[in-house]
Amino acid sequence: MSQATQSKGPQGQSRDPRGRGPPVYGRGPPGGIKGTNDRPRRPRREPVEEVWIPKTVLGKKVASGEISSLEEIIESGLRIQEAGIIKKLLPDLKSEVVDVGIIQKMTANGQSTRFRAIVAAGNENGYLGIGQGKSKQMRIAIEKATSQAFLNVSPIKLGCGSWECRCDQKHSVPFKVRGKGGSVRIEIIPAPRGLGLVAGGKIKRLLELAGLKDAWTTAKGSTPTMNSTSKAILDCLRQTFSQG
Ligand SMILES: [Zn+2]
């Protein structure tokens, strides 16, 4: 009794030991033959998070906890050569692609095409860095730009330089700052609380990443050139340490 009933499949049809159904000619019914696809599915591979292994002496000190703030590194004048150092010290850093482009040039073999990406990294509270990367593949260009942006992260002094507000919160720049990059000249003027950022789309996003909430801006030059514009903004924001 048991032998005969067990050998039958769930649909009551007997199957051969290889688990195949009756022979089907042509393409068969759409979706395949029922019962042929009952082998276990290979589980989808989970993306593994990369573990940072420090390579430099400074990186090892940061990883072991000997150095616990970015200010310590900047004050001692050491050079940060690993993006992992910044990631460890500022875990809330966000990165954002600011601009992407294509570079084409003629070579002896024809045209060579590469991609260029500009990425900004900031924690929306006093840190901003900007990096550029180029590669034959877009994804690698963005990766390069991101690690470059992490390496470029510099502190920004936030404050309230507005005479209309006179609070001591960190919502604007402490005073008027100017910066340049290429032909682009940018000026950031402190504004009272609640005003918001008076700036064009991409400049606004960069200032937000830096942690500014209220400011007026003026820009001169070829501002669609994000390469120059992002440099000008970073130059501006670094000036917040120049006085007072
Ligand atoms: Zn204020």
What are the tens digits of pLDDT across the range 130-176? 999 999 999 999 999 999 999 989 889 998 888 888 888 889 999 99
Q: How far is CA 222 from CA 130, 179, 200, 229, in A?
A: 18, 14, 13, 8
What is the predicted pLDDT for the residue at 27? 67
The DSSP secondary-structure symbol of 23 reads -
Q: What is the 124 CA–ligand 1 centroid distance (Å)?
A: 17
Q: Which of 13-22, 156-165, 179-188 has the lowest mean pLDDT?
A: 13-22
Q: What is the 240 CA–ligand 1 centroid distance (Å)?
A: 16
Q: What is the 162 CA–ligand 1 centroid distance (Å)?
A: 6
Q: Is the pLDDT of residue 4 over 50?
A: no
Q: What is the 78 CA–ligand 1 centroid distance (Å)?
A: 34
Q: What is the 126 CA–ligand 1 centroid distance (Å)?
A: 16
Q: Is the pLDDT of residue 187 over 80?
A: yes
What is the predicted pLDDT for the residue at 41? 80
Q: Is the pLDDT of residue 212 over 50?
A: yes
Q: What is the 171 CA–ligand 1 centroid distance (Å)?
A: 6
More confident residue, 82 or 18: 82
Q: What is the 34 CA–ligand 1 centroid distance (Å)?
A: 70
In angstroms and rounded to an integer, the radius of gyration of the C-alpha atoms of the chain is 29
190: closest CA among 234, 240, 242, 155?
Answer: 240
204 phi/psi in degrees, rounded to 5: -60, -45
Written as one letter, the residue type at 193 is R
Task: Identify the CATH assignment for 85-155 out of 3.30.43.10, 2.30.42.10, 3.40.50.300, 3.30.160.20.
Answer: 3.30.160.20
Task: Identify the CATH assignment for 177-241 out of 3.90.550.10, 3.40.50.720, 3.30.230.10, 1.20.1060.10.
Answer: 3.30.230.10
Q: What is the 120 CA–ligand 1 centroid distance (Å)?
A: 26
What is the predicted pLDDT for the residue at 18? 60
Using CA atoms, how far apart are residues 23 and 142, in angstroms rounded to an integer? 51
Q: Which of 47-51, 161-165, 182-186 has the lowest mean pLDDT?
A: 47-51
Query: Domain boundaries in the chain?
Result: 52-84, 85-155, 177-241
Taking a C-beta distance cutoff of 8 angstroms, is the pair 214, 194 a contact? yes
Q: Is the pLDDT of residue 1 over 60?
A: no
What protein residues have CB closer than 5 angstroms to ion ligand 1? 160, 165, 167, 193
Q: What is the 160 CA–ligand 1 centroid distance (Å)?
A: 4
Q: What is the 84 CA–ligand 1 centroid distance (Å)?
A: 35
Beta-strand ranges (E) seen in the chain are 94-107, 110-122, 127-135, 154-155, 177-181, 184-190, 197-198, 215-220
Q: Which of 29-33, 62-66, 178-182, 202-206 has the lowest mean pLDDT?
A: 29-33
- At a CB cut-off of 8 Å and minimum separation 6, what does 30 contact? none
Residue with tokens 């007072």: 244
What is the predicted pLDDT for the residue at 17? 57
Q: What is the 125 CA–ligand 1 centroid distance (Å)?
A: 15
What is the predicted pLDDT for the residue at 2? 45
Cα 86 to its chain centre, rounded Å, is: 13
pTM of the entire predicted model: 0.73
> What rounded mean pLDDT belongs to the chain?
84
pLDDT digits (tens, 9 = 90+) for 68-127: 888 888 888 888 888 888 888 888 889 999 999 999 999 999 999 999 999 999 998 889
The mean per-residue pLDDT over the stretch 34-46 comes to 73
Q: What is the 67 CA–ligand 1 centroid distance (Å)?
A: 33
Q: What is the 218 CA–ligand 1 centroid distance (Å)?
A: 20
What is the predicted pLDDT for the residue at 33? 59
Angle between helices 226-238 and 201-210 (to 10 degrees): 40
Residue with tokens 């050079």: 79
Q: What is the 167 CA–ligand 1 centroid distance (Å)?
A: 4
What is the predicted pLDDT for the residue at 12? 47
The mean per-residue pLDDT over the stretch 209-219 comes to 93
Q: What is the 90 CA–ligand 1 centroid distance (Å)?
A: 26
Percent of the chain predicted with pLDDT > 70: 84
